[in-house]
């Protein structure tokens, strides 16, 4: 039943958004799409909230082309994207193995004074690690720490797991990344697992033994 056919009911954007969001949460995507079409037919403008829900829906359904099409429609209609939209765009890019585009969206949101949160940083760092872009992962991990964004401990553990493996960076790059990230986490009082801490300390000692520059433990 169309909302506009209900007697005594004048559906507005808020009501539609509430119902569409409910449909998306219950994985009733077909109903959500019908409500979106009804909004358009009734000349009810889709807002940032509406587009955020719609893009999130397509992202969860792995409909990545629809994600980017909806984003373009959003821009065409002059609706400014918020953090939810950028989060979905970044996650969709990573799932499509388009890390470069994910980085562009990330930098764009910062230029628009939208502060990335722990979800955005975690998604981007995981994407960098998965694509073996370890220096880029280190860059954004350091940025998140300096920005006061606390990530889940498994992100830090995963980072050191990748960075310290034999197939990772050169020893010089490893040394720089490990020194910076470990030092910042230590100063912030972030606790790492005993196993990871042992690997870091052994690596640092090895680097100190082969270099005239010492890394603080």
Indicate whether 187 pLDDT > 70.
yes
> Which whole number is the average pLDDT over 59-69?
89
Mean pLDDT of the chain: 87
Strand residue runs (E) in the chain: none
Verdict on whether the full-model pTM lies above 0.85: no
Q: Which two tokens stand for residue 128?
A: 């960098």
Looking at residue 169, the DSSP 8-state letter turns out to be S
For residue 1, what pLDDT band results from cuts at 50, 70 and 90?
A: very low
For residue 181, what are the CA distances in angstroms to 21, 30, 141, 176? 39, 45, 7, 9
Instruction: Report the chain's terminal Cα–Cα distance, integer Å.
Output: 66
For residue 174, what pLDDT band results from cuts at 50, 70 and 90?
A: confident
Q: Which residues contact 172 (CB under 8 A, 6 or more apart)?
A: none
Q: Which residues contact 133 (CB under 8 A, 6 or more apart)?
A: 99
Looking at residue 79, the DSSP 8-state letter turns out to be P
Indicate whether 164 pLDDT > 90.
no
Backbone angles phi and psi of 105, in degrees to 5: -60, -40
Q: Which two tokens stand for residue 172?
A: 């010089």
- What is the pLDDT at residue 60? 85
129-133: long-range contacts at Cβ-Cβ below 8 A with a sequence spacing of 24 or more? 129/158, 129/159, 129/162, 130/94, 131/97, 131/99, 132/162, 133/99
Looking at residue 125, the DSSP 8-state letter turns out to be H
pLDDT in tens, 115-132: 999 999 999 999 999 998
Residue 101's CB is within 10 A of a number of other CB atoms, namely 16
How far is the C-alpha of 12 from the C-alpha of 44, rounded, in Å?
Answer: 7
Domains of the chain, first to last: 1-92 (1.25.40.10)
């Amino acid at each position: 039943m169309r909302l506009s056919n209900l007697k005594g009911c004048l559906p507005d954007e808020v009501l539609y958004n509430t119902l569409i969001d409910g449909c998306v949460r219950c994985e009733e995507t077909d109903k959500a799409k019908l409500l979106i079409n009804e909004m358009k037919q009734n000349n009810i403008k889709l807002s940032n909230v509406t587009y955020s829900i719609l893009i999130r829906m397509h992202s969860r359904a792995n409909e990545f082309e629809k994600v980017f099409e909806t984003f373009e429609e959003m821009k065409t209609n002059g609706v400014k994207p918020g953090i939810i939209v950028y989060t979905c765009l970044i996650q969709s890019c990573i799932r499509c193995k388009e890390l470069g585009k994910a980085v562009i969206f990330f930098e764009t949101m910062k230029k628009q004074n939208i502060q990335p949160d722990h979800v955005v940083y975690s998604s981007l760092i995981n994407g960098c690690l998965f694509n073996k872009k370890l220096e880029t992962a280190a860059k954004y991990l350091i940025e998140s720490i300096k920005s006061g964004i606390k990530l889940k401990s498994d992100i830090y553990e995963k980072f050191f797991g990748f960075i310290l493996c034999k197939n990772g960076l050169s020893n010089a790059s490893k040394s720089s990344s490990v020194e910076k990230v470990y030092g910042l986490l230590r100063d912030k009082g972030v606790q790492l697992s005993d196993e990871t801490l042992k690997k870091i300390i052994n690596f640092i000692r090895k680097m100190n033994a082969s270099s005239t520059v010492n890394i603080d433990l």
